[in-house]
């Protein structure tokens, strides 16, 4: 295995992610990239549980990626050596947080598509995430060698559904199992390989039957690329020949600015992976091509930036915590500026604490390579951080900065969990704490009323994996209840005035708190808003935070069925106090009373998570599947014929109706249907269902 080269210039480093819908071939592609760069000498297969980046037992058993894994490889291109840091991410929607946090720290991405299906539901999700973080990307249409593989049709789905800036830069030669090469439209050359196992590409003449198609696609490509440069545009209109070097420069510029998205197609298991490496190196950004990272000064709040330069003060972002059984916490982080040394102290500006870095390591899946220094542009891991978690900024204490945190989706599924034996109780608590630290979308809380421990996550598979990890990694056996839905409550109308008055007189100092609140709905997704409208000192300044706190604590359990209250605006506009008896505690209680009373009078409703469901089914089962979705209070949004006798049905369905749906779908479609389910929004629960939920909750 080649090692870390501390002298490598920043322009020769690429930090990239491999992102896609589940089963498009991300891990297999990563494996081939590692093989052709000489990092591994035997290619592992996902279905055999032997892939380098799928190193968790659960990943090997299920044949899916659960945790993103970081690997490093080296590639020679245009007589320079490049270091490519790759993060292979999961495709399953339950682990979408892994994609989110990886894209936050990466400079570029390779989006993989299944060449038989083109854009799939999760492809759209990862594309939106990449848009959010402004990540330049190239696309690879994989699996064109399989039955039903169709480059043109799949390429059209990218143009129609994701971006009309997509441009083909290679065209496959041969169809399905007879695929044997590709035409490179930038170089205007054709290449072939003798068999899928060949390790060499041979240049061949462009086949006669493809010449017309290649010329047509190359003209479209050149037209898109000359727009990147005025001088090129003039040259093009003057009818002059555009050189290959000029095209390469324009392709790089266009990709970096997300004005074009280059699309390649083929079979990533073949030597074509070398071409993917060439275009990763050519098109995707180095740390120097990315705008300087923005942040706030932790003391003054002023906006500041850090350039990707070793001479700048150190700054980095922790984007992932992994619990390692041998060395404890491993904190993955990206260095944005300056350098950091093992054995030194860094400042966690998010938490205002100092942390010691005992060791620095570079990760190669689950292997570690110890290094003394990491510098701007590097992605590595720290051993020894005690308090830092995902999203925390590490920096130089003399030059503090807080970088933008990573925002994760809210968990939608909950389960009660209890240790199988009394002796597992303490171990379970420790295991859950560690897993919560690792995964920001995994939550644990205690239900005071029932005394139960509740775990929440992004889906049934997510919770199943967590319970399985507790058993294997922490040796804790736990029993889990049926999955529960994370309902929310809000109000629909306005309660202009609600009084909370707490007066208690018992020998000695009494208690006096009195406030008037206005309660109204807030905009969707805006959360809780507190407005202080006190005039004339009817409540002294020092008690106003206590009123807010009283409301915030009461938000945790609403008045319909005891679920958290969201999207609500509370205005404190009047009240009174007693010179001697008033206290923060009294105002907290008064605020709680006023809020509960006001909620009851503001038309409170129950909200439930609605899921975006895309079901892929053979056409003969379409009626049965549509009927099944409708019976689950599903709203059919439409259907689309994707070819090969397969239809995709899109529907919005309440999460509470979807538990066990995968098994039901299998039985309806004789195992041929598959569903992609991801959170869409919260919506009001129908009255009859709400009464049922409130009844169950009240028992």
Residue-wise pLDDT for 384-423, tens only, equals 788 888 888 999 888 889 888 877 777 777 788 888 888 7
Q: What is the pLDDT of residues 190-233, one digit of tens each?
A: 998 888 788 888 889 999 999 999 999 999 999 999 998 888 89
- Is pLDDT at 586 greater than 80 in this prediction? yes
| CA 364/CA 334 separation, integer angstroms | 15
DSSP 51-105: -SS--SHHHHHHTS--S-EEEEEEEEETTEEEEEEEEE---SGGGHHHHHHHHHH
- Is pLDDT at 517 greater than 90 in this prediction? yes
Query: Which pLDDT does position 57 carry in this prediction?
Result: 52
Two tokens, residue 511: 């208690």
- Beta carbons of 60 and 54 less than 8 angstroms apart: yes
Q: What angle do CA 210, 216, 220 make, to 5 degrees?
A: 140
Query: Which pLDDT does position 485 carry in this prediction?
Result: 81
Query: Which pLDDT does position 406 carry in this prediction?
Result: 77
Query: Which pLDDT does position 49 carry in this prediction?
Result: 41
Least confident of 343-347, 514-518, 569-573, 616-620: 616-620
pTM, two decimal places = 0.70
Q: Which residues contact 148 (CB under 8 A, 6 or more apart)?
A: 116, 176, 643, 644
| CA 217/CA 168 separation, integer angstroms | 7
| CA 496/CA 518 separation, integer angstroms | 5
Least confident of 52-56, 62-66, 187-191, 527-531: 52-56
Split at pLDDT 50, 70, 90, the class of 548 is very high
Beta strands in 481-603 (DSSP E): 484-485, 488-491, 495-504, 511-521, 528-532, 568-576
Split at pLDDT 50, 70, 90, the class of 62 is very low
Two tokens, residue 22: 């589940």
User: In 3-state terms, what secondary structure has residue 90?
Assistant: coil
Query: Which pLDDT does position 54 carry in this prediction?
Result: 40
| CA 44/CA 55 separation, integer angstroms | 11
Q: What's the chain's average pLDDT?
A: 83
- Is pLDDT at 484 greater than 80 in this prediction? no
Split at pLDDT 50, 70, 90, the class of 63 is low
Sign of the torsion formed by the C-alpha atoms of 360, 363, 369 and 375: negative
| CA 166/CA 283 separation, integer angstroms | 14
Query: Which pLDDT does position 652 carry in this prediction?
Result: 93
Query: Which pLDDT does position 67 carry in this prediction?
Result: 56
- Is pLDDT at 254 greater than 90 in this prediction? yes
**Residue among 460, 645, 462, 614 nearest 121 (CA):** 614
Mean pLDDT of 120-132: 81
**DSSP annotation of 341:** E
* DSSP H helical ranges for 133-178: 151-161
Query: Which pLDDT does position 365 carry in this prediction?
Result: 57
Query: Which pLDDT does position 448 carry in this prediction?
Result: 60
| CA 648/CA 313 separation, integer angstroms | 51
Split at pLDDT 50, 70, 90, the class of 375 is confident
- Beta carbons of 328 and 382 less than 8 angstroms apart: no
- Beta carbons of 192 and 253 less than 8 angstroms apart: no
Query: Which pLDDT does position 660 carry in this prediction?
Result: 74
How many CB atoms within 10 Å of residue 272? 27
Distances in Å between the Cα of 42 and the Cα atoms of 31, 197, 267 are 9, 12, 18
Query: Which pLDDT does position 508 carry in this prediction?
Result: 66
Query: Where is pLDDT greater, at 251 or 6?
Result: 251
Query: Which pLDDT does position 48 carry in this prediction?
Result: 41
| CA 264/CA 594 separation, integer angstroms | 62
Q: Indicate the helix (H) or strand (E) that contains 553.
A: helix 544-555
**pLDDT > 90: percent of the chain:** 24
Query: Where is pLDDT greater, at 528 or 460?
Result: 528
Query: Which pLDDT does position 50 carry in this prediction?
Result: 40
Split at pLDDT 50, 70, 90, the class of 68 is low
Distance of CA 435 to the CA centre of its chain: 17
Least confident of 315-329, 381-395, 535-549: 315-329
| CA 20/CA 125 separation, integer angstroms | 9
> Do you know the residue count of the chain?
699
Query: Where is pLDDT greater, at 666 or 152?
Result: 152
Query: Which pLDDT does position 261 carry in this prediction?
Result: 94
């Amino acid at each position: 295995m080649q090692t870390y080269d501390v002298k490598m210039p920043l322009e020769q480093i690429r930090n990239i992610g491999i992102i896609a819908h589940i089963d498009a071939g991300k891990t297999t592609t990563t494996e081939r990239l590692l093989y052709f760069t000489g990092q591994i000498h035997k290619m592992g297969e996902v279905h055999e549980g032997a892939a380098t980046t799928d190193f968790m037992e659960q990943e090997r058993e299920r044949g899916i990626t659960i945790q993103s894994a970081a690997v490093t490889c080296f590639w020679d291109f245009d007589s320079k050596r490049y270091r490519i840091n790759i993060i292979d991410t999961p495709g399953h929607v339950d682990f979408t947080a892994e994609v989110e946090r990886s894209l936050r720290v990466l400079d570029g991405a390779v989006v993989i598509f299944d060449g038989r299906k083109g854009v799939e539901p999760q492809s759209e999700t990862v594309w939106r995430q990449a848009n959010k973080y402004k990540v330049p990307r190239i696309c690879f249409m994989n699996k064109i060698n399989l039955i039903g593989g169709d480059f043109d049709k799949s390429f059209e789905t990218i143009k129609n559904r994701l971006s009309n800036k997509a441009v083909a830069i290679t065209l496959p030669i041969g169809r399905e199992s007879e695929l044997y090469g590709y035409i490179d439209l930038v170089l205007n050359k054709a290449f072939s390989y003798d068999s899928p196992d060949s390790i060499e590409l041979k240049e061949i003449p462009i086949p006669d039957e493809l010449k017309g198609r290649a010329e047509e696609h190359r003209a479209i490509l050149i037209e898109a690329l000359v727009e990147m440069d005025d001088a090129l545009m003039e040259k093009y209109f003057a009818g002059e020949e555009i050189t290959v070097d000029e095209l390469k420069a324009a392709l790089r510029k266009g990709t970096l600015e997300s004005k074009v998205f280059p699309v390649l197609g083929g079979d990533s298991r073949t030597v074509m992976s070398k071409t993917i490496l060439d275009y990763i190196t050519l098109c995707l950004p180095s740390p120097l091509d990315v705008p300087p990272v923005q942040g706030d000064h932790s003391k003054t709040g002023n906006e500041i930036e850090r350039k990707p330069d070793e001479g700048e003060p150190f700054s980095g972002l922790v984007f992932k915590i992994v619990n390692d059984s041998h060395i404890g916490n491993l904190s993955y982080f990206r260095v944005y500026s300056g350098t950091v040394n093992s054995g030194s102290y860094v400042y966690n500006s998010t938490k205002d604490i100092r942390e010691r870095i005992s060791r620095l390591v570079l990760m190669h899946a689950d292997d570690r390579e110890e290094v003394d220094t990491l510098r701007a542009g590097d992605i590595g891991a720290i051993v020894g951080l005690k308090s830092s978690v995902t999203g925390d900024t590490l920096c130089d204490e003399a030059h503090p900065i807080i970088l933008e945190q990573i925002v994760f989706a809210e968990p939608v599924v909950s389960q009660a969990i209890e240790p199988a034996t009394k002796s597992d109780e303490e171990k379970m608590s420790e295991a859950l704490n560690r897993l919560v630290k690792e995964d920001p979308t995994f939550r644990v809380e205690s239900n005071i009323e029932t005394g139960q421990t509740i775990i929440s996550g992004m889906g049934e598979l997510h919770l199943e994996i967590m319970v399985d990890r507790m058993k294997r990694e922490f040796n804790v056996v736990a029993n889990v209840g049926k999955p529960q839905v994370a309902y929310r409550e809000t109000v629909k109308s306005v309660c202009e005035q609600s009084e909370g008055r707490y007066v208690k007189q018992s020998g000695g100092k009494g208690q006096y708190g009195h406030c008037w609140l206005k309660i109204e709905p807030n905009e969707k997704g805006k959360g809780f808003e507190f407005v202080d409208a006190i005039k004339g000192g009817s409540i002294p300044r020092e008690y106003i935070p206590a009123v807010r706190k009283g409301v915030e604590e009461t938000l945790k359990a609403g008045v319909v069925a005891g679920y958290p209250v969201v999207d609500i605006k509370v205005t404190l506009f009047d009240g009174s106090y007693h010179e001697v008896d008033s206290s923060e505690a009294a105002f907290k209680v008064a605020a709680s009373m006023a809020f509960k009373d006001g909620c009851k009078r503001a038309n409170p409703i129950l909200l439930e998570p609605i899921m975006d469901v895309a079901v892929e089914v053979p056409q003969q089962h379409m009626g049965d599947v549509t009927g099944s979705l409708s019976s689950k209070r599903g709203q059919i949004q439409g259907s689309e014929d994707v070819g090969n006798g397969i239809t995709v049905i899109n529907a919005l369905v309440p999460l509470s109706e979807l538990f066990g749906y995968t098994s039901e779908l299998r039985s309806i479609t004789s195992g041929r249907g598959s569903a992609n389910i991801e959170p869409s929004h919260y919506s009001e629960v129908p009255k009859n269902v709400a009464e049922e939920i409130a009844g169950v909750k009240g028992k």
